[in-house]
Amino acid sequence: MPLHVLSHPLGTHVLTHLRDKTTKPALFRTLSYQISLLLALEATRDLAMEDKTIETPLETITGRVFAKPLAVVPILRAGLGMVQPFQDIFPDVSVGYVGLERDHTTAVARSYYCKLPPLEGKRTVVVDPMLATGGSGAQALDVVKAAGAKDLVFVCIVASPEGVAVLKAAHPEVPVYAGALDRELNAKKYILPGLGDFGDRLYGT
């Protein structure tokens, strides 16, 4: 499973401010948008293309256009903070939702919602800002595969080595795009140095 870690200086700058505990929800949402936009571009760099013949005002040329549609599937709730950039740069993108919530004591994710468009034949991008134990990510990939997704990528803002290993074992063919690969998980399964609870910081809860 290839792991792609963002190397753009804007990503590094944005991550520092996302990690800063004094960053308030309004700025946190803006920063989430900015880094998700960079990740959206990286995760779609290898999209399948096909020829299309068009008329310019001067002559006929064969250009290139997307060969298949795109779907983005955020893992609720924090993944919602990564969807808007996909909709802004890919106006025809379909959006599906997988609701998963980690138990505060066991850190095991519980499924509470699922609404997916048809995913067969689409490039499906599963987005979740935090890849911690990897439990939520692996479960979400199971769900979208069961719904027909085959051409899949997983995008997160911060990954832990433990989470990457879990995804690699469960879904070895799915490339992972991360804004950063952090050091480790703490005893409560939070990422270190990380940025705390992404959903709480995004929504001010």
**DSSP percent split of the chain into helix, strand, coil, nearest 5:** 35, 30, 35
Pick one of ligand PRP, ligand URA, none as the site partner of residue 194 (Cβ within 5 to 8 A by kind).
Answer: ligand URA
Rank residues 67 and 169 by Cβ distance to ligand PRP and give the closer one.
169
Pick one of ligand URA, ligand PRP, none as the site partner of residue 11 (Cβ within 5 to 8 A by kind).
Answer: none
Nearest distance in Å: CB 155, ligand PRP: 12
One character per residue 48-67, x = contact with ligand URA (rule: CB under 6 A): --------------------
Rounded Cα distance between 143 and 98, Å, is: 8
34-44 in b/e form (b: 16+ CB < 10 A) is bbbbbbbebbb
Pick one of ligand URA, ligand PRP, none as the site partner of residue 190 (Cβ within 5 to 8 A by kind).
Answer: ligand URA
User: What letter does residue 134 receive in the DSSP assignment?
Assistant: S
105 is catalytic: no
20 is catalytic: no
Residues in the chain: 205
> Does residue 194 bind ligand URA (CB under 6 A)?
yes
Distances 102 to 71, 76, 97, 116, 136 between C-alpha atoms, Å: 24, 11, 16, 21, 8
Pick one of ligand PRP, ligand URA, none as the site partner of residue 86 (Cβ within 5 to 8 A by kind).
Answer: none
> Does residue 101 bind ligand URA (CB under 6 A)?
no
Rounded Cα distance between 151 and 79, Å, is: 20
Query: Taking the chain, what is the end-to-end CA distance rounded to the nearest angstrom?
Result: 35
> Does residue 35 bind ligand URA (CB under 6 A)?
no
Q: Can you give the binding site for ligand PRP, defined by CB under 6 A?
A: 75, 77-78, 100-102, 107, 109, 128-137, 163, 189, 198-199
Q: What amino acid positions are annotated as catalytic residues?
A: 102, 106, 197, 200
